Amino acid sequence: MNDQQRYQKLAKRVREINAGNGWDKPTWENLPGKLAMVFTEINEAHEEFDPSASTAFSLELADIAIRLLDCLESVWPGQWTLRQPGPGMPGSLKDCGIAEQLWAIVDRVSEALEAWRHDNGMDTQICLEQALRAVREVSGIYGINLRGWIDVKLDRNAQRGYLHGKKNSEG
């Protein structure tokens, strides 16, 4: 199984767990709200950054990836890809500070929202693929096994219950 297949399998698991917990499926129509939650996770990652103790930071990177995977697989099932560096993408992030590294993700998600606003599905998809690529690159810079942390977070989420305790299934 190659990386693309592993991530698509992870994305399907994300959707199954999120659906079981009562979270709405990302759609083209509700995508801006779903992407707003990505910005929240990026902020939390920045708050948790500590190169000497990376557990909390690793979990926040996993949260960012989980939200991006859910959007990609829900809106473009089986059609998205693990994007490689290309035109318009930042160069290597390894020589940047954490704020600039996370800003690369913010920038791509912001561009996705702008593409969505112009009803440009292909550009929206590509920008989200690039955001996921940036998350993967940041995790690699710090020696974080992103797929492993995604599994840890998904295992936790699977045990959290309907809307994570905010509501019950009866309303």
Does 138 reside within a domain? yes
How confident is the model at residue 167, as a pLDDT? 52
Q: What is the rounded average pLDDT for all residues in the chain?
A: 89
Does residue 170 sit within a domain?
Answer: no
Confidence of residue 171 (pLDDT cuts 50, 70, 90): very low
The reply to whether 91 falls in a domain is: yes
Residue 143 within a domain: yes
pTM, entire model: 0.90
> Token digits for 82?
């693990």
Instruction: List the domain range (segments joined by +) for residue 25.
Output: 3-164
Is 169 among the domain residues?
A: no
User: Is the torsion defined by CA of 58, 59, 61, 66 positive or negative?
Assistant: positive
pLDDT-based confidence at residue 165 (cuts at 50, 70, 90): low
Per the structure, the count of domains in the chain is 1
